[in-house]
Structure 1
């Protein structure tokens, strides 16, 4: 019986020793697995650039259409014609408008004659009524009413005549500003109008090419780094080896609902090399005014739940959720309220390291 007890005690002792050795081996193995290099978290001002496609457009341009149904009578310009503000470009013809204008003019003259007659009649009655008993009060009221009615008809005739005058002015297509004709889509005798086939294309397109505007749609992630007055560089595909420099003139201040980007515009003074419609590549320099936490890209791991870094707190791992910003040259900007300057972060984050794991920091 004593021998059995002794043997049992010996077995238990051996199992305990073996278990301790295994635990030590596992601890050593875990410490080896979680051994990592760290760095002290610092704030930096990180600079980076992005290249965005853009298109050059004339600073001012207009597509000119016919306001009324008519025919092209004379065509005084063609593609490439330089025009001045107020210059006649196209003369249209609409006989029905001319006829209506003449009829309105005749009605106006008739209304003027009727009003002058009723006005003179009222004035004579008024003068006669100064002699007591010559003109009744009823006669005076009727004369005054007739004069006012005829005056109202005269004003209506004037309005009708002016309306047809304005419609006739639409037959003269004039340049709204000084520029160049860049498109012509009609010929003499063509039917044009506000509806139907004649309105599918503009009669002519006039552009002011002395000044150009370069429009750029900046993605939401980068829009906050651009400010009015910032200097930008751009290249034009059709002019290889040439770099142009300009400044941001204006920003839309809102994001486009479809592209989720902000529209910025750059004004470019007259440059004979540049033309409206050219495709450009704009280089934007992205630089924050305030420094942010910058970490190696390898220090950030991303899951479906979000992005994390691993912080070493008293030799143990602590995962910290972060918001990623820009990344360039192997570095990345991150933000989190749980991060502080000089925190120790793992240079290379690993999915195998869990919260509370002991770290062997090197």
Structure 2
């Protein structure tokens, strides 16, 4: 009986020893697993911070090709109006008529102007006769006054004043007659340049000469055209690689035309925030029409090379744009201004110079003054 109780106690002790051993092993395994996991996470985090790809900034040419909408305009355009009131007596042209400089376009009938011209012509003759009589009288009195006591000084002054007044009347009559003769010249309307009539708003017998009326004719010179392109403000500081561009039109998309830069407005329009660049387009075959819309392809460049960074090296926040520079193994946030967007690269301005080391994939989480290890990536 005692032997059986002793064996039972021995079994209980062995079971307790086994359970205690198992608990210790499980505890040690759990601790080892937990510490190992923390260690791996810390190592991974440390590796993420320490291993940073970099980009070496350098000067490069800044070039970009853009396509902008544009408009073709006539080289010259004029609205023909009557400068005198009258009736349209004759009109020699219509829409589509090609005209030469100085060609007679229309005649205005204004009888009162003809009458006034005749009237002032007669007044010239009358004023001239009076002027010649006064001059003759003055010459005689002046000659006589050279002898002392013959002519009183007041009499000489009176004759001289009358002569000057008649002379002024004669000149005024000449000027008035010339004015009405010039108005008579306005009765014949001629073309100011070579071109084509694109509008006609009056017919024979129409009363013309009112300031508020439509022009009689509209003439355009389309032998060469102006191509106007509105250049956005961001590109206003660039120049063309060549002084010419190529463009296409919606009417003839299969044809590529060329235009030469001739002038810039040198002004940024407040409404569109753009500058007008004007190109000259030869049009000898008259294929292009004024008023057409075109797509102009411009190859732009900066005069001097600039700093261009990969877009991944630039961080944009609500407050600013910045890049992360690496100096002596520590990070530094550098504010930048963005220039031209070149696709996967961006032109930047700021405290970045050629040879500076920058973080290739920058982000806000990489704070300033953090020690890092870098790895070079081929630019």
Task: Specify if TM > 0.5.
Answer: yes
> Does the alignment pair 1:185 with 2:201?
yes
What is the TM-score of this pair, normalised by structure 1? 0.84
User: 1:333 deviation in Å?
Assistant: 0.9
Contact 1:66-1:203 at 8 Å conserved across structures: yes
Structure 1 residues without counterparts, runs of 5 or longer: 1-17
2:311 to 290, 297, 308: 297
Q: CA deviation at 1:212?
A: 1.5
CA distance in 1, matches of 2:119, 2:304: 74
Per the alignment, residue 326 of structure 1 pairs with 340
Q: Distance in 2 between matches of 1:138 and 1:41?
A: 98
1:114–1:343 CA distance, 2 compared to 1 (3 A): same
Gaps of 5+ in 2: 1-33
Q: 1:251 pairs with 239, 264, 284, which one?
A: 264
Query: Which secondary structure does the structure 1 equivalent of 2:160 belong to?
Result: helix
User: Quick check: 1:311 aligned with 2:333?
Assistant: no
1:231 counterpart residue number: 244
Aligned pairs, number: 340
Matches within 5 A, 1:84-123: 84-123=100-139
Quote how far apart the aligned CAs of 1:143 are: 2.3
Query: For the Cα contact (< 8 Å) 2:72–2:228, is it kept in 1?
Result: yes
Whether contact under 8 Å (1:34, 1:353) holds in the other structure is no
SS in 2 for 1:37: strand
* Structure 1 Cα separation of the partners of residues 289 and 182 of structure 2: 36
Helix, strand or coil for the counterpart of 1:350?
coil
Residue 83 (structure 1) aligned to one of 99, 115, 124: 99
Shift of 1:27: 7.4
- Say if 2:290 is the partner of 1:276: yes
Instruction: Report 1:52-91 matches (<5 A).
Output: 52-91=68-107
How is 1:97-246 mapped onto 2 (pairs within 5 angstroms)? 97-126=113-142, 135-196=151-212, 198=213, 201-227=214-240, 230-246=243-259
Give distance in 2, aligned partners of 1:127 and 1:340: 94
Deviation of 1:131 after TM superposition, in Å, equals 6.8
- TM-score, normalisation: structure 2: 0.81
Q: 1:102 to 1:169 in 2, by over 3 A?
A: same
Task: Answer yes or no: is the 8 Å Cα contact 1:248–1:267 preserved in 2.
Answer: yes
RMSD: 2.6
1:228–1:249 Cα contact (<8 Å) kept: no
